[in-house]
Amino acid sequence: MDKARLLRSVESAYMKEVPDIEPGQTVRVHLKVVEGDKERIQVFEGLVIALKSSGISRTITVRKMSFGIGIERVFPIHSPRIETIEIIRRGKVRRAKLYYLRGKSTKESRIEEKRER
């Protein structure tokens, strides 16, 4: 057995079922946060501006505006810390990386919603 196939077989045990995430979508990420001996769920809702890598190491970069300040966070999709990922809106975008939104205001960075047929 070659190394790539062996690696994929080991990774497949740790991969989760996640929705089909694309740039331009507004997602709600439910994250487990440990504080002392307690554990709670924290929700981070924002726009997916980038996807990176594939397989077990796949990540999404989510950006939200909080009190006029842009906050970006990178989430490993298959991390055990991630409870669920919900897709709220599907945006109509024409590129894979939406880094240009960093320089825009909240109003300017709105993305048109994709129509479902």
**CATH T-level fold of 3-101:** SH3 type barrels. (2.30.30)
* Residue at 6: amino acid letter: L
Where do the structural domains in the chain lie, given as residue ranges? Answer: 3-101
pLDDT at residue 1 in the model: 63
Q: Which residue in this structure is represented by tokens 């909240």?
A: 106
Q: How far apart are CA 50 and CA 31, in angstroms?
A: 19
Strands (E) in 1-117, as ranges, are: 26-35, 38-52, 59-66, 69-76, 82-89
Residue 69's contacts (CB-CB under 8 Å, 6 or more residues apart) are none
pLDDT tens string, the chain, 117 residues long: the values are 688 888 888 888 788 888 899 999 999 999 999 999 999 999 999 999 999 988 888 999 999 989 888 999 999 999 999 999 999 999 899 999 999 988 887 777 788 888 877
pLDDT at 76: 94
